[in-house]
Amino acid sequence: MWQKRTKSSSTRIHNASSPKFACSSFKDVHTLLSDEEIGGVGAGYTPDSPKRSSIFHRVRCAKSLLRTLSQPPLPKYAAEPDTEIRISGAEQTVVVYFTSLRVIRPTFEDCKAVRTILRGFRVSLDERDLSMDSRFMDELQRIMGQREKSKLTLPRVFIGGRYIGGAEEVRRLHESGELKKYVEGIPAARPGTCESCGGHMFILCLECNGSHKCYSEKCGFRSCTLCNENGLIRCPSCSCAPL
């Protein structure tokens, strides 16, 4: 008498496509994966369409751009000729003020690194060691217009008489390949090591034999006026600009 109740099917048919990621953080990942599959063929891909760049290539480009933008610009004296600091008479050489003392380790390492970079170009190099002659300090203060010695950091590099900067500027120019353009036109360095000074650019004073004291019967002992406080004079064979 009673008609049997038919059970409704509990199976649901999903005709719609699966929903995309709801989380906004996965949205870009979903788009990238839908654009390109393994082998370079993805949704919307046709044989005539240009090949898309890989995700890794995009990441490398983004990192390179961020690294470039994060670097501070070069100082004005290295970019604007009107504000240049120059050394007269040093147009045909590279002058570097440095110290060979290891008292301050970071300064010593910076000086060593800059000298290694500059020597690699095999051009005329005038290395002025402030620890060998204190007059180099006075000379550098006069050039930079700096009265306080404590504010002068080393090294300081001049190419063709033009002030380039310190260790940071030299490293950046060398890594970008610009430093090679700066040294173009500088005469090549002399081959080998100087036989007179052994590459130290200083020799003992011939007047006082390195004692920095001279004796005369009339005046007794007096300070030698030809050498520095260490009893040294610049090597006449390889020095570019004697003090």
* Residue 39 tokens, joined: 């082998």
Q: Using the structure block, give the residue that is written with the tokens 């100087």.
A: 194
Task: Out of 3.90.1750.10, 3.40.50.300, 3.40.30.10, 3.20.20.70, select the CATH number for domain 76-182.
Answer: 3.40.30.10
Which structure tokens are listed for 23?
């989380």
pLDDT of 69 reads 56
Amino acid residing at 216: S
- State residue 195's pLDDT score: 86
Q: Which pLDDT score, from 0 to 100, does residue 231 have?
A: 92
Q: Which two tokens stand for residue 201?
A: 């650019």
pLDDT of residue 64: 65
Q: How much is the pLDDT for 72? A: 54
pLDDT of the residue at 79: 39
Best CA proximity match to 224, nearest among 129, 243, 233: 233
Helices within the chain (DSSP H only): 27-35, 55-70, 105-119, 135-144, 167-176, 178-182
Domain boundaries, the chain: 76-182, 193-243
pLDDT value at position 198?
85
In this structure, the strands spanning 213-216 and 220-223 are antiparallel
CB of 144 within 8 A of CB of 204? Answer: no
Residue closest to 100 by CA, chosen among 240, 238, 230 = 230
Which tokens sit at 27? Answer: 């949205």
- pLDDT for position 192: 82
3-state SS assignment for residue 220: strand
Q: pTM for this structure?
A: 0.63
Mean pLDDT per 10-residue section of the chain, whose length is 243 residues: 50 46 47 46 46 64 62 46 75 95 94 96 94 92 86 93 95 95 92 85 91 87 91 83 44
